[in-house]
Amino acid sequence: MSTVTTADHHDEHHDHKPTGIKRWLFTTNHKDIGSLYLIFALAMFFLGGAMAMVIRLELFQPGLQFVDPQFFNQMTTMHGLIMVFGAVMPAFTGLANWMIPMMIGAPDMALPRMNNWSFWILPFAFLILIISMFLPGGGPDFGWTFYAPLSTTYSNDSTALFVFAVHIMGISSIMGAINVIVTIVNMRAPGMTWMKLPLFVWTWLITAFLLIMVMPVLAGVVTMVLTDKYFATSFFDAAGGGDPVLFQHIFWFFGHPEVYIMILPAFGIVSAIVPTFARKKLFGYASMVYATASIAILSFLVWAHHMFTTGMPVFATLFFMYTTMLIAVPTGVKVFNWVATMWRGAMTFEVPMMFALAFIVLFTIGGLSGVMLAITPADFQYHDTYFVVAHFHYVLVSGAVFSIVAAVYYWLPKWTGHMYDEKLGQLHFWCSLISVNLLFFPMHFVGLAGMPRRIPDYALQFADFNAFVSVGGFLFGLSQLIFLWVVIKCARGGVKAPAKPWDGAEGLEWEVPSPAPYHTFDTPPQVK
């Protein structure tokens, strides 16, 4: 009886969906929600990028030309917040929504209504954040790290909106993470055992656990900022028995795992793309899984390496120096495994592979500067200079963002049913590769030479480098317009994509037609 009803119900909904805006507002379909996340992330990427352009414009020459210092600080703050919470994290969540059910042979995410909710609160969070810039006194201007007491006693009233927006982002992330975990644990197709999971699924599973553990910490610290500012608590105020350094401990206890939240899924993507285009199985699958888990565990033991100059006791400093250095080991294992995967393969160099290769090289450069930053005595000279800015943009832009772009090129045929324009894609790659290095490489030099970060104006010996960096920045910004063009063009039409457009690809997502039907794997596939 009940079986019949279910079947009827099911038939009715198969490939039928509301049209127009209602489809998107009320959707519980993982593919629709994945697309929403990705489009939102792209929009935020351009908004955050526009803010970076304002920063680079002001820094193009010494002196104050275009914006005042307060607005400059708002730009650096909003650029950071938007890129971290609005671009990179939602992009990875979008990829997870699209790909995880298809990769594990599940019909959808486990909690589809919550999935809808976790996306749709996000635009409102950013709306609130952006509106705060138009309040009298301007938006948040204390850096995306919002150190107390700059963000408490000395901030303006947009702080309340900032706190509220961060809360909503946190709720969205937590719900997304719960969905990923429940889906992976419960909805794998028969025969899809743990050690057969694609690495993208593994890395996302671990990322989701990190999210669930640290997002509440972020929520806690923003709430403490709120009560310190408005409700006369003194968590971070020495006059009331608090400690401003406590803020940094709590923030970075969230902040460091957050860094890995933004890079672990990237490892998964690269581990999918490199074997495909090298036509050779991923080298050291098991060690990749263990390395990911070790990085995640270590990420909870290194937070104070962001705080070496706060005057911690020397033994605490040593502890955090050693644990930080240790992270290089599992990260190194990953890089070596990728190179070993390529070794004696039969490689071709389509756009996803190009971005994945660039990821490996540039992420490694960012990783090596990370090892340098771990060395505390040297960190006293690097800390809060452009050397740090160079380091984290190498791992976040030419790392995380490049991996997302690689993933988009890799799976666009599956999503749209069309091949992207290979020539334009290659143009996008080469423009991005050259400009990203013009943009971020000289920052190492200008940082070593002594230029602090987050300053709107600088001494004259930094002028040449800054002009150079700004030109690189403008070129990188323009290059991304090519990406927008390629994606729109591919969505609108093009050469029909086969179910498996890449001959070396493996995985369940390539067994369904392109474009992927609205509902896939209603009947679970049998995994050998």
Pick the piece of the chain touching another protein (CB under 8 A) from 6-14, 26-34, 406-414, 463-471.
463-471
By C-beta, is 278 or 404 nearer to another protein?
Answer: 278
* 418: helix, strand or coil: strand
| Shortest spacing between CB 446 and another protein, in angstroms | 9
Pick the piece of the chain touching another protein (CB under 8 A) from 13-21, 79-87, 202-210, 343-351.
343-351
Using CB under 8 A as the binding rule, the residues of this chain from 186 to 245 that contact another protein are 237-239, 243-245
Contact between 463 and another protein per CB under 8 A: yes
Pick the piece of the chain touching another protein (CB under 8 A) from 26-34, 47-55, 100-108, 441-449.
441-449
CA 55 to chain centre: 21
Instruction: Choose among 423, 406, 407, 413: nearest CA to 497.
Output: 413
248-286: b or e for each residue (b if 16 or more CB lie within 10 Å)? bbbbbbbbbbbbbbbbbbbbbbbbbbbbbbbebebbbbe
| Shortest spacing between CB 311 and another protein, in angstroms | 4
At 39, list the tokens. Answer: 């489009």
Contact between 360 and another protein per CB under 8 A: yes
Cα 423–427–432 angle (5° rounding)? 150
Contact between 281 and another protein per CB under 8 A: yes
Contact between 132 and another protein per CB under 8 A: no
Cα 147–150–154 angle (5° rounding)? 155
Cα 202–205–207 angle (5° rounding)? 110
By C-beta, is 429 or 468 nearer to another protein?
Answer: 468
By C-beta, is 20 or 136 nearer to another protein?
Answer: 136
At 288, list the tokens. Answer: 């990749």
Residue 470 amino acid letter: S
Q: Is 183 a catalytic residue?
A: no
Using CB under 8 A as the binding rule, the residues of this chain from 240 to 279 that contact another protein are 243-245, 278-279
Q: Which of residues 54, 96, 302, 365 is near another protein by CB under 8 A?
A: 365
Using CB under 8 A as the binding rule, the residues of this chain from 147 to 186 that contact another protein are 147, 149-150, 153-154, 156-157
By C-beta, is 123 or 244 nearer to another protein?
Answer: 244
Q: Where are the alpha helices (DSSP H) in 375-462?
A: 376-382, 386-395, 402-416, 422-448
| Shortest spacing between CB 280 and another protein, in angstroms | 4
Pick the piece of the chain touching another protein (CB under 8 A) from 22-30, 100-108, 135-143, 428-436.
135-143
Q: Is 305 a catalytic residue?
A: yes
Sign of CA dihedral 76, 158, 259, 448: positive
Tokens 């809060």 correspond to 384
Q: Is 514 a catalytic residue?
A: no
Q: Which of 117, 120, 144, 147 is catalytic?
A: 144
Under rule CB under 8 A, how many of the chain's residues touch another protein?
A: 101
Q: Are 205 and 233 in contact (CB under 8 A)?
A: no
Using CB under 8 A as the binding rule, the residues of this chain from 468 to 497 that contact another protein are 468
**Is residue 270 within a helix (H) or strand (E), and if so which, with residue range?**
helix 264-278
Instruction: Choose among 422, 395, 430: nearest CA to 501.
Output: 422
Q: At what angle do helices 30-59 and 402-416 cross, to 10 degrees?
A: 140
**Is residue 155 within a helix (H) or strand (E), and if so which, with residue range?**
none
By C-beta, is 171 or 467 nearer to another protein?
Answer: 467
> What's 309's DSSP letter?
G
Task: Give the C-alpha separation, 387 to 261, whole Å.
Answer: 22
Q: Is 258 a catalytic residue?
A: yes
Q: Which of 17, 249, 279, 453 is catalytic?
A: 453
Q: Which of 331, 376, 432, 470 is catalytic?
A: 331
Q: Which of residues 378, 478, 481, 484 is near another protein by CB under 8 A?
A: 378
Q: Is 502 a catalytic residue?
A: no
Q: Which of residues 47, 49, 57, 61 is near another protein by CB under 8 A?
A: 61
Q: Which of residues 25, 127, 347, 478 is near another protein by CB under 8 A?
A: 347
Q: Which of 32, 58, 141, 258 is catalytic?
A: 258
Q: Is 334 a catalytic residue?
A: yes
Q: Is 435 a catalytic residue?
A: no
Task: Give the C-alpha separation, 300 to 249, whole Å.
Answer: 12
Per-residue binder mask for another protein (CB under 8 A), 67-106, x = binder: -xxx--x---------------------------------
Tokens 């020397």 correspond to 314
Using CB under 8 A as the binding rule, the residues of this chain from 301 to 340 that contact another protein are 309-311, 314, 317-318, 321-322, 325-326, 328-329, 332-333, 335-336, 339-340
Q: At what angle do helices 314-342 and 285-298 cross, to 10 degrees?
A: 160
Q: Is 323 a catalytic residue?
A: no
Cite the active site residues.
Answer: 79, 108, 144, 172-173, 256, 258, 260, 271, 305-306, 331, 334, 453
